[in-house]
Amino acid sequence: MHYRQALPTDIPELSRVRFAVRENVLNNPGLVTPADYVDYLTRRGQGWVAVTDDGQVAGFAIADLQGHSIWALFVHPDFDQRGLGKQLHGLMLDWYFQQTTETVWLSTAPGTRAEEFYRRQGWQETGRTSSGEVRFELTAARWTNQKLL
């Protein structure tokens, strides 16, 4: 497995991974368009992919520098429990906090493995979104301390 910056040419593979997940399922595929991916990868922030030796994208992460949020972190179910999510998470947050010291936020469905993952990575719950998702925040200082553990 190797990791690299995500490119607009990766979008079909990013979509394939996104639609394969079993939690935080995107019920309406029209809500996330190829144009959205392009915007987040080229204008709003940056993304990373985990790529298998045969060139298949196994997971991806995208940070939104403008909105100070994590737009996406997904691993294909065939590659669960191999550390890809943690590696992508680290690459994304290292980059994010090199760009800004602004607190970053994300939300995820309650009771999911993603919720527990973010808690283990040092994210602090700050409440619920209007749709009922758990809202988390992470400060630059907390990220630095988390990496030292």
Higher per-residue confidence, 12 vs 30? 12
Q: In what order do the strands lie in the sheet with 57-64?
A: 2-5, 45-51, 57-64, 69-75, 104-108, 134-138, 124-128
pTM over cut 0.85: yes
- Tell me: the pLDDT tens digits for 103-147? 999 999 999 999 999 999 999 999 999 999 999 999 999 999 887
Every domain of the chain and the residues it spans = 2-148
- pLDDT value for 87: 97
Spatial contact of 50 and 87, defined as CB atoms under 8 Å apart = yes
The fourth-level CATH superfamily of domain 2-148 is Gcn5-related N-acetyltransferase (GNAT) (3.40.630.30)
The percent of residues above 90 in pLDDT, for the chain, comes to 85
**pLDDT for residue 149 is more than 70:** no
Question: pLDDT tens for residues 47-61?
Answer: 999 999 999 999 999
Q: What tens digit of pLDDT does each residue of 14-67 get? A: 999 988 877 776 666 677 888 999 999 999 999 999 999 999 999 999 999 999
Helix axes 84-99, 140-148, angle to 10 degrees: 140
pLDDT for 114: 94
